[in-house]
Structure 1
Amino acid sequence: MITVTLTDGSQRTYENALSVSDVAMDIGPGLANAALAAKVDGEMVDLSYVVDKDIQLAIVTPSSPEGLEVVRHSTAHLMAQAVQRLYPDVQVTIGPVIEDGYYYDFATEAPFQEEDLAKITAEMKKIVKEKLPVERFEMSRNEAVTYFESKGEKYKAEIIRDIPESETLSLYKQGEFTDLCRGPHVPNTGKLKVFKLMKVAGAYWRGDSNNEMLQRVYGTAWTDKKDLKEYLFRLEEAEKRDHRKLGKRMELFHFQDEAPGMVFWHDRGWSIYQSIQQYMRAKLNGKDYKEINTPSVVDYSLWEKSGHADKFGDDMFTVESEHKQFAMKPMNCPCHVQVFNQGLKSYRDLPIRLAEFGSCHRNEPSGALHGLMRVRGFVQDDGHIFCQESQIGAEVSEFIDFLHEVYKDFGFNEIIYRISTRPEKRVGSDEIWDKSEKALADALDDKGIAWEELPGEGAFYGPKIEFSLKDCLGRVWQCGTIQVDFSMPNRLEASYIDEQGDKQVPVMLHRAILGSFERFIGILIEQHAGNLPLWLAPTQVAVLNITGQQAEYAEKIGQTLKNKGFRAIFDLRNEKIGYKIRQHTLTKTNYLVIVGNKELDEETITVRSHDGKDLGSMNLESLIQLLDQQVKDKI
């Protein structure tokens, strides 16, 4: 007898081997009709998988994350089949599932055009109506090479040659189309009904610029039309909120070819930057951090000693001077150890918390640069805590509270917590990694915070907690981090004297809350669609006169607001008031103060908010109270 244990703990027994699909039908026709794949003893399989022993079984349906991934994976094959039907000479290469969709790279002499997407979509819909069975079969590695070469698929054959000769490969066939794939896939093409092709782009074969340029077609797939509609709406909103467009419209910053990946901050953008820096500086002072500043260019030998040269050497900008090699710092930690190392330290001095708004440079690939989100020159709100092993838990716990305070003030209340554990390439013993990973897990567990593990994603010197923010469009941005490091202080000869008078190596906690200022500002701009909270806005108030008669009065109001510490301007240009209002609305000024003859005579002001709401007539003191309260409350 074969016993199948279901997710609810119930069991079913069968005398003979049968497919997962048969089990689903036995449970109920409704489940069998909805089923896309299954999990057998935790492993994803096709519905055709034969059950011939006792198993734990979960049927995967469209409502599950696994079901959505199967749909996207299968839709990628659907697209590849449609492409080869329309363009028989095109070769299929690689087609993975990505966030919110999938892509496939194709080798073709004639590049795809946007209008080709409509043709491919129409052919995909035809294949869906055909309800072609999707069948899995196996081949040896050498058989698979011969098979794809016979079809003229040289790229696919090249992929397979890199697989060990002893491996047996799985392939999937639907109609005339066959591709190498681990699976699983939907049982037939009729299950794939909600999809959209998004765009065409160029991509080098295997991501190497020395290889041929391929055509990459991106698509998205969902399990119901409502989800697709919501996704397309989010894309539309994201386009409206694009920080690069808003940055130009709001006159915040720009980029140019003479300094790729480096930001040219304009006065308005720099005002946002300074507001954030001053806020963070005040917070750090309240948490007993000592603010320092370290050199941007450091002898390359320090990076070799710290281990960064081995790990990040290709990403570092280097320069030679007087026959010595130097590097622009890609991060601040080795320099902070140098500050700690000055003078003898006692256990009584620990913890020592050092903070720096550290200017860093990394030689990111030009194709990866993306506005403020991915740059080559950036500043981190960096900090390093030197402590005893017994102090790790308390320091991590206190940092988590600190981080929550900051994120709340910036309007982010939904945080995702992940612990990144030891990577394959690392320094330090397994015993040290065990202690480090446990310290981070305990800190989150003690606060009752749910977290997930990212195996192998830790830094080369230690594990870390990653704090990710979810924005108003549901996008996730990894910003904050705290990392436990038992290794670098030892490599860089940091020490303190313990209670017995012996020399000990401190533990080093690497921590950041915002990450890079540049990226965080980009996130803020998109989160608020440029309508930044008053305390961050580059121009909080613009005072506008209607005619020249009110110019002196408008200037007086504007100057009073500036003297009170507000970022105010007075626009006295000889332009129509409607033109002035439109211009300051485009640059996202929070409040517009309008003065005409009536306001002049009554010594009042008319106030309008950035969203067009008329707040009516008031005296200047009432406006100042309103502004004071909003700045205080971080509204």
Structure 2
Amino acid sequence: MINVTLLDRTQQYENEISGFELLKGSEFKNKAIALKVNGNLCDLSCAINYDAKVEVITVQDQEGLDILRHDAAHIMAQAVKELFPEVQITIGPTIEDGFYYDFALELGKSFSSEDLVTIERKMQEIIKSNYKFIREIWTREDAINFFQGRGENYKVEIISNIPESEKLTVYRQGSFVDLCRGPHSPSTGRVKAFKLMKVAGAYWRGDSNKPMLQRIYGTAWRDKNELQEYLTRLEEAEKRDHRKIAKDMDLFHIQDEAKGQVFWHENGLVLYHVIESYIRKKLRKNGYNEVKTPILASKELWEKSGHWDKFRENMFIINEDQEKQMAIKPMNCPLHIQIFNQKTRSYRDLPMRIAEFGTCHRNESSGSLHGLMRVLGFTQDDAHIFCTEEQITEETKKFCILLKEVYEDFGFKDISIKFSDRPSIRAGSDEVWDKAEAALLCAAEDTGLDYTLNPGEGAFYGPKLEFVLKDTIGRDWQCGTLQVDFVLPQRLDASYIGTDGQKHHPVMIHRAILGTLERFIGILIEHYAGKFPLWLAPVQLVIATITHECNEYALEIEQRLKQKGVGVEVDLTNEKINYKIRLHSLKKVPILWIIGKNEVLKKEVSIRYLGKIDQISSSADEAIQSLSELVICK
């Protein structure tokens, strides 16, 4: 983004000036995708008739890349319409790394993989034609008549739902016209690198009672190198799919009879408990007390907290009797306040830090469920800090230090932070939100953290910091959060006695490091491709025998290792040793000890590490001592 000038129209121009005129002769003329005028994105053709701060958006800016992806969505819609005139176009937004467009086909018809290739070729033709994107403002009547005349009934429905006070804008490229708010780049030729990825079904308006549409997903990048890097990353991500790796390692499964809920197998539960134990140690060291709260709570509590109004559609409700309704908890915070409220608290008790591995359930649509990454039932590494306003900064600092330590121990060193402010639907007055946002911003700045703004993405009760880690193939994962909440303690009447002898509402800091154990385990599996560091590996060592004469010696070593706390298994099967090596390599076991007649005779083991061909011989005593020191949990 380039800050061009503070444009004073009154001194330079008698009439309005367009972005094109403003940049005429400028070094930015051929780089510009759009403008940001007083903070609002607009096309280069937009008219500026007032004093304004003008910034140039180029393809190097994320906003510029998003605009190119929006261009690509319109180009795809034009290509589909020209190839399949009977198809109706609906909506086509940008998404992370790309775009999609939903199309209504005749009943029983769908796009094939061959169709995608044909559509791509047509898109290339449209890009080569370099059609200008022309923005036009239409009356509601003209827009409805136009789209009705073309049989675009979905567009007519969209127009009917737009408030009458809002302008209707359309964009024209060649002979193609689409309803759109914009902005767009100057022409279709700005799109340099794209690929159509897949076709999926999608209900109109996301409602399963409405028609099923065909959704074509695509991706677009600044150039062909970026596109190829992205496609390579996708290939690598597919190899690392946690669901496939988990099957090889026998960690968990999910089945239709319990959608969105995890069946943890023995190895998976070992991993789960190692992580839980690690976090528990960190909590104790940092002054947290662990609690456990009920999984069910009455409708009245959720009404008082505000979740019944704001979150009810995502809650599992029990008992149809309106007077006796209960809900499975979707979060822990209202129940933690009940623990705080059981005693008269003093300012001397603050900060009070309470933590819970709280099992929660949220009613997500089945289409959004994805392995461990999106589930209905999950466990949060949840904690709440009750403190005074003066303690917010210090508690934020302490949390950030703790979070960084945890992420680094798990192998994540690249961490970024987003500051998310008030959403459109929220609890509390603007005055309270002003106070909460100022307090959290001050705390973030005092910690020396770099952050980016994430407008409108705060929780309904307060602003938050979102901590994003980058995995080994460059993907971002939002895991940790810290939220400052002035609202919930007031709603649920939490109070403490201050230095003045009067009652005051505490500030409630909601915080999590991993987010949910399920999702974090999924991220870990993909980050390491199942090849966990030794302290995390569900099975740290397998002892494999070459002949049955070695079994007694192998079992003796196994018992010694178990007494040292090593996660060990013994493979005494009659399979050949090369088969055993391949089998346990597929299961990502970090270390294999091979025992044959020679090892028994010399009281040794042959050591083989995952991914390496060479074997190392060692005395059993030395190997046991060395391994027992290595596997100690952090």
TM range (shorter): over 0.9
Pick closer, same or farther for the CA change 1:509–1:187 going to 2, 3 Å.
Answer: closer
CA RMSD of aligned residues (A): 2.4
Instruction: Report matched runs for 1:620-635 at 5 Å.
Output: 620-624=620-624, 626-628=626-628, 630-631=630-631
Q: Counterpart of 1:195 in structure 2: which amino acid? A: F
**SS at 2:185 equivalent:** coil
- Aligned-pair CA distance for 1:574: 0.7
> Could you say which residue in structure 2 is the equivalent of 1:213?
212
Pick closer, same or farther for the CA change 1:326–1:38 going to 2, 3 Å.
Answer: closer
Deviations 1:446-465 (A, max 9, x none): 12111123333222222222
> Could you say which residue in structure 1 is the equivalent of 2:139?
140
**SS at 1:7 equivalent:** strand
Q: Counterpart of 1:350 in structure 2: which amino acid? A: L
Deviations 1:480-507 (A, max 9, x none): 1122222222322322223343333322
Deviations 1:526-553 (A, max 9, x none): 1111111111111000011111122122
> Do residues 122 (structure 1) and 118 (structure 2) align?
no
Deviations 1:121-174 (A, max 9, x none): 111112222222332222122211111111111111211122233433222212
> Could you say which residue in structure 2 is the equivalent of 1:181?
180
Instruction: Report matched runs for 1:303-452 at 5 Å.
Output: 303-320=302-319, 324-452=324-452
> Do residues 522 (structure 1) and 522 (structure 2) align?
yes
> Could you say which residue in structure 1 is the equivalent of 2:79?
82
Deviations 1:321-363 (A, max 9, x none): 9973222111111221222222332222222211111111111
**SS at 2:119 equivalent:** helix
Distance 1:560 1:46 in 2: 72
Pick closer, same or farther for the CA change 1:228–1:338 going to 2, 3 Å.
Answer: same
Give the conservation status (yes or no) of the 8 Å contact 1:24–1:59: no
Distance 1:6 1:478 in 2: 30
**SS at 2:443 equivalent:** helix
Distance 2:7 2:18 in 1: 18
Pick closer, same or farther for the CA change 1:490–1:168 going to 2, 3 Å.
Answer: closer
- The runs of 5 or more residues in structure 1 that have no matched partner are none
> Could you say which residue in structure 1 is the equivalent of 2:110?
111
> Could you say which residue in structure 1 is the equivalent of 2:231?
232
Give the conservation status (yes or no) of the 8 Å contact 1:6–1:58: yes
> Could you say which residue in structure 2 is the equivalent of 1:581?
581
- Aligned-pair CA distance for 1:632: 5.2
Q: Counterpart of 1:123 in structure 2: which amino acid? A: K
Q: Counterpart of 1:149 in structure 2: which amino acid? A: Q
**SS at 1:88 equivalent:** coil
Distance 2:541 2:336 in 1: 41
Distance 2:591 2:40 in 1: 57
Deviations 1:271-292 (A, max 9, x none): 0000011111111111121111
- The runs of 5 or more residues in structure 2 that have no matched partner are none
Give the conservation status (yes or no) of the 8 Å contact 2:6–2:54: no
Percent same amino acid among aligned pairs? 54
Distance 2:50 2:315 in 1: 55
> Could you say which residue in structure 2 is the equivalent of 1:38?
35
> Could you say which residue in structure 2 is the equivalent of 1:65?
62
Distance 1:292 1:74 in 2: 52
> Could you say which residue in structure 1 is the equivalent of 2:511?
511
Distance 1:456 1:18 in 2: 32
Q: Counterpart of 1:121 in structure 2: which amino acid? A: E
- Aligned-pair CA distance for 1:24: 4.0
> Could you say which residue in structure 2 is the equivalent of 1:564?
564
Pick closer, same or farther for the CA change 1:571–1:402 going to 2, 3 Å.
Answer: same
Give the conservation status (yes or no) of the 8 Å contact 2:274–2:633: no
**SS at 1:511 equivalent:** strand
Using the TM superposition, name which of 118-127 and 615-624 deviates more.
615-624
TM-score normalised per structure 2: 0.93
Instruction: Report matched runs for 1:238-253 at 5 Å.
Output: 238-253=237-252
Pick closer, same or farther for the CA change 1:192–1:390 going to 2, 3 Å.
Answer: closer
- Aligned-pair CA distance for 1:186: 2.9
Pick closer, same or farther for the CA change 1:575–1:366 going to 2, 3 Å.
Answer: same
**SS at 1:26 equivalent:** coil
Distance 1:192 1:345 in 2: 61
Distance 1:133 1:433 in 2: 44
> Could you say which residue in structure 2 is the equivalent of 1:595?
595
> Do residues 272 (structure 1) and 291 (structure 2) align?
no
**SS at 1:311 equivalent:** helix
Pick closer, same or farther for the CA change 1:40–1:339 going to 2, 3 Å.
Answer: closer
